[in-house]
Chains A and B, each alone.
Chain A
């Protein structure tokens, strides 16, 4: 556990449990360049900076935060869509940041993604059947065309679509149906882990519930592990077993869902929860609101010290000194704040 000792982000796996994914001190810096002809790197956007967490087999870890906090980048860095600047991503015991491209290709069968936008994430020129069958072609996971067609039909049923719709194109489906196609595609290779990147935020309320239920049913049926990225704290509370809260590239709090909502420790988590209105006028009438002032700073020029200090109601001089690491305040409940 060397990375953990070096890193400031504590909440690593403690070994004993069945950990499927262990992210240690993950960093993803994107270069910022200037000059058109001979671009020079003039700085870095630290999209994620020293992020550590683990996901146990069969559980759902919710990753919440506002736009630009690095939650999507975290999901993509785990899947090696780009090479992380630093840190390790240990999946089923192998560090993905060091294995060869060919091995990584094999690993991708085990880890898939469902994207946010059901409109742009499906190729408009392929039929639904071709879209769902494509991973099997790419990874040569089935022996024959007949076998593939059988599997595609099976996947249609699994996600609640009629296999007779296989010859239709994406534009002939509604948003909710398209998201089901995206889910079927992710399931095509029997993965054990799925990154769900805001998979219901583009859907209407009544359709959202259908898709959330589908995610839960599939998890039970195929023993899936989810990293569920979202900004909607109500959805995450419903689906996640544990929740990590991100702010400006850092995880500021991790706790089991119920614990996080009952007893939020980090001032940012408290503000975030207080900002979400509850659909009951009686409760809203008496609820205390904690409005956080200001806006999220640019990740190009993050605050020195604790990244939340300029907006934090508890801020004191010490907060300007250094970004506090995650500390286990009560068993399983980690927070990165010197005030708790």
Chain B
């Protein structure tokens, strides 16, 4: 049932040239989102979750290169667009909220200037129209005293406020897709809840698609409709949030679920960590990348890379033994 989705990443391969050789940061990743949907991409540092998002936006650093694959937005392959064509998409059709609100705003420009710039550029507004719209936007993201904030600089604002400004920036042209890369990792818990709630409500209100990149399994459970779990540059499991949380079919997903302490459960036993270290991407083991840390590995795992297979209900996993995993006790996960 291949439908055309709003944004579709198809078999994306991204490489980085480093001193220690070629690093395949993203190695055959596919996913898609539709309007009104929230997709979470989950994984630990270095798994390729941010790189896949940056390639959608055409923002890879010069060491990075998309080797193959396509990024289809409304049927157009974004990777084939010229720089100036891409500039029409970036910020206007697809926008991004970065992790670090401290460093992703320009410290030399006022909040108002940064926001009006994008409106003048993409929406053809004049200064006065832009200012009125900026104040509307600041109020939309629940910044109090928007008139005064308009002429302040980023360093006048707290971390939570800066992230609200980033969100206003991302929403300013009413894009179709918002990609949020660890949007609340740098923030305190109560502020994190405020920002995520706001982001979810606004994307629902405007009917956008939201891609949240995170390592926080709690955030995913609260806000995402569907989830992709990534490990060493590949998607190892995907499905609706319920499918992935209730019946995880990849040993890595299970390991992740078992290794996080839960705020709603008493300490019953020791945590069950995933043994070993995340792999070195420039020196991946043959076969399945998770094999050295996997308690269920069989011989075949060291020879062949397991493909991502859909079980028929939209729940896919990339593991040779996913059918033979023991049932999940509701207690351990």
Contact = CB atoms under 8 A, between A and B. Distances in A.
Contact of A207 (B190, B265, B273): B273
Given A204-B278, A205-B215, A284 B256 contact: no
A233 B272 contact: no
A272 B191 CA distance: 10
A238 B271 contact: yes
Contact of B270 (A213, A272, A273): A213
Interface in B30-81: 44-45
A116 to B, nearest CB: 14
Contacts of A9: none
Contacts of B216: 277
B241 interface: yes
Contact of A289 (B188, B193, B266): B193
Contacts of A239: 261, 267
B263 A273 contact: yes
Contacts, number: 139
A161 interface: no
Nearest to B46: A204
A280 interface: yes
A125 to B, nearest CB: 22
Interface string A218-251: 0000000000000101110111000000000000
A258 interface: yes
B261 A235 contact: yes
B278 A295 contact: no
A14 B265 CA distance: 30
Contacts of A293: 194
Given A213-B271, A284-B221, A272 B189 contact: yes
Interface residues of A, number: 45
A271 interface: yes
B146 to A, nearest CB: 16
Contacts of A231: 188-189
B261 A212 contact: yes
Contacts of B242: 281-282
B263 A206 contact: no
Contact of A295 (B158, B221, B223, B258): B158
Contact of A66 (B188, B219, B263): B188
B262 interface: yes
Given A281-B221, A281-B242, A291 B262 contact: no
Interface string B132-163: 00000000000000000000000000101100
Interface residues of B, number: 48
B103 interface: no
A267 B257 CA distance: 30
Contacts of B272: 209
A278 interface: yes
Nearest to B189: A275
Contacts of B277: 174, 176-177, 207
Given A213-B271, A233-B189, A291 B194 contact: yes
Given A209-B259, A216-B270, A275 B264 contact: no
A340 to B, nearest CB: 19
Interface in B164-179: none
Contacts of B44: 204-206
A278 B189 contact: no
Interface string A247-277: 0000000000110010000000001111111
A163 to B, nearest CB: 18
Contact of A284 (B197, B222, B259): B222
Nearest to B244: A281
A277 B222 CA distance: 6
B192 A275 contact: yes
Nearest to B191: A295
A280 B221 contact: yes
Contacts of B257: 279
A277 B273 contact: no
B264 A283 contact: yes
B303 interface: no
B266 A258 contact: yes
B229 to A, nearest CB: 12
Contacts of A212: 261, 271
Contacts of A284: 221-222
B325 interface: no
A324 B190 CA distance: 22
B189 A279 contact: no
Contacts of B189: 66, 231, 233, 272, 275-276
A296 B266 contact: no
Nearest to B241: A281
Given A206-B256, A213-B270, A277 B261 contact: no
Nearest to B264: A278
Given A276-B189, A278-B262, A209 B221 contact: no
A141 interface: no
Given A272-B189, A282-B246, A237 B271 contact: no
Given A206-B278, A212-B271, A295-B161, A280 B245 contact: yes
26 contacts: A66-B189, A67-B188, A176-B277, A204-B215, A205-B44, A205-B217, A206-B255, A206-B259, A206-B278, A208-B273, A209-B261, A237-B262, A237-B266, A257-B266, A272-B189, A273-B263, A275-B193, A277-B193, A279-B245, A281-B222, A283-B221, A289-B197, A291-B193, A292-B194, A295-B160, A295-B191
Given A207-B277, A276-B218, 17 more contacts: A66-B190, A205-B215, A205-B256, A209-B260, A209-B261, A213-B270, A213-B273, A216-B270, A231-B189, A233-B189, A234-B263, A235-B261, A280-B262, A283-B264, A284-B221, A289-B193, A293-B194
